[in-house]
Structure 1
Amino acid sequence: MKLIPVIDLMGGAVVHARRGERSAYRPIETPLCAGSAPLDVAAGLLALAPFTGLYVADLDAIAGRPGHDAALAELAARHPGLALWVDAGEAEAVRVERRAAAGPGRSVVGSETMADLASGLAAIRAGAVALSLDYGPEGPRGPAEIHAEAGLWPEAVIVMTLARVGAGEGPDFARLAGIVVRAGARRVYAAGGVRHADDLARLADLGIAGVLLASALHDGRLPAAAIARFMA
């Protein structure tokens, strides 16, 4: 099972994401590094374990503000073997094509940023993207069809349960199990709520291909030994 650390960027800093309440996010405080600069936090995470990928949520870009591609380009230059998944609100084909051609990273197309099904499908088909099926406390976000029809999904599907992010309540196992069954041969990645190694073991048993991690890495609930066991 692939373990993928996450950094959430806002205002030039890595912020502590909690329950998807973005207006309340503040710069992260972590024992992995001093400060909240993106390059420093990324280096601290990569020192914890030999992760091969990093998920970046560019919250400013998602909100329509100038994003952090310059910092991501520097991150890619410092860690040339690192696969970057970038959620920057790119739910239009032209933006996916631009990132596919020039980088940095690979686009994540989030259902919550799709203006409609047609433009969202065009974005999915414009490059080797990952689709994020986004769920808020109110339920699925974005076009209903993209959640309901597995035949529309690309090879990589992220199940993003925003209400579980940073909340310490555990993953949404029931939803994940249902999506794994519907996904067939597609790879399903879990995002939101992982607390400890027992959660990872249960996700592996469900057939989850990978897990996005943040809080449990910073607060030590997933120590290096546990991470190494699942990465092996």
Structure 2
Amino acid sequence: MILIPVVDLLQGQVVRAVAGNRSAYRPIVSGLCQGSDLLTVAQTLCEHCASSQLYLADLDALQGGPVQLAQLRTLLEALPDLQLWLDAGFADAAAAESLRGQLGPLADRVVFVFGSESLHSRAALAECFDPLQPGSAGRVLSLDRRGGQRLDAAGCWDAVDLWPRRVIVMTLERVGSDAGPDLDTLRELRAKAPGAMLIGAGGIRHEADLAAAQQAGADAWLVASALHDGRLPRRIR
């Protein structure tokens, strides 16, 4: 199972995500490192997971504010081998391409994540993942839900024919909740898209959960709390 460590960034600090209740997020307290500085936490998590990939949720942008551009630049410049998966509340392809222009050459190492909670229309979904559009191969779709309800104004969950090769199954109510992964939803989506790379998110507590998720059809998992709490051992490259 591929592990992709996660940082949730709010006003320049890494915070602990719990059940998608963003107003209650507080600076991370980690068993792996001191403080909530983005670079420190990101480097520590990547080393612990033996990963060159990092998922970053820009909570400022996701809540309608500006992208934390200076922090992104600092991270990408300091870790030249990092591939950054970035969810910054992109409503359409134009929003991601605007940020690409601001990042310049650093954007070559950014995978743009388009969340169903943020995409504003079915047309925007289709444009984002149209194989004839520049940059579409480097994009990921996140199918988001909270409290059992799909966050999906654009109808992403049912538009299987528009899904890209990589799809995140984001169960926000299980993030940081110690409730275990949502394997039923994972199995449902695996049946709909047998050839996709499915990346789960939310609920992982220990290695047994990862094994169960892999058996249910997950190719990778986004993790944070179980790492900070010392429940997933260090991996060796």
CA distance in 1: counterparts of 2:159 and 2:124, whole angstroms = 16
Number of equivalences: 227
C-alpha displacement of 1:58: 0.2
Question: What is residue 223 of structure 1 aligned with on the other side?
Answer: 233
- Report the counterpart of residue 136 of structure 1 in structure 2: 146
CA distance in 2 between partners of 1:166 and 1:62 (Å): 18
Instruction: Give the Cα separation in 1 of the matches to 2:81 and 2:170.
Output: 25
CA-CA distance at 1:159 after TM superposition = 0.3
Question: Bigger shift: 165-174 or 205-214?
Answer: 205-214
Q: CA deviation at 1:99?
A: 4.1
Q: CA deviation at 1:10?
A: 0.4
> Cα distance, 1:47 vs. partner?
3.0
Residues 1:22 and 2:22 aligned together: yes
Match of 1:153 in 2: 163
Structure 1 length normalisation: TM-score? Answer: 0.92
Specify the alignment match of 2:34 in structure 1: 34
Work out the CA distance in 1 between the residues paired with 2:154 and 2:63: 21
Question: Take 2:49 and 2:162, find their aligned partners in 1: how far apart are those partners?
Answer: 34
2:139 aligned partner, one-letter code: V
Q: CA deviation at 1:68?
A: 1.7
Q: Tell me the distance in 1 between the aligned counterparts of 2:33 and 2:212.
A: 30
Partner of 2:44: 44
The residue identity in structure 2 corresponding to 1:113 is S
Structure 1 unaligned residues grouped into runs of 5+ = none
Q: Which amino acid counterpart does residue 226 of structure 2 have in structure 1?
A: A
**8 Å contact kept, 1:99–1:105:** no
Structure 1 stretch displaced more, 116-125 or 201-210 = 116-125
Determine the C-alpha separation between the residues in 2 that align with 1:35 and 1:149. 41
Structure 1 residues 147-177: Cα deviation after superposition (integer angstroms, max 9, x where no partner): 1131110110000000000000001000101
Q: Is the 8 A contact 1:13 1:27 kept in 2?
A: yes
CA distance in 2, matches of 1:208, 1:111: 19
Which residue does the alignment assign to 1:112?
A: 117
- Structure 2 Cα separation of the partners of residues 55 and 92 of structure 1: 19
Report the counterpart of residue 123 of structure 1 in structure 2. 128
* Paired residue type of 1:209: D
- 1:118 partner amino acid: A
Percent of residue pairs identical? 42
- Structure 2 alignment gaps of length 5 or more: none
RMSD over aligned Cα, in angstroms? 1.6
CA contact (8 A) 2:186 2:217 kept: no
SS of 2:203's partner is coil
Q: CA deviation at 1:46?
A: 2.4
State the 1:123 CA deviation. Answer: 2.7
- Which residue of structure 2 aligns with residue 190 of structure 1? 200
- Write the distance in 1 (CA, Å) between the matches of 2:60 and 2:216: 34
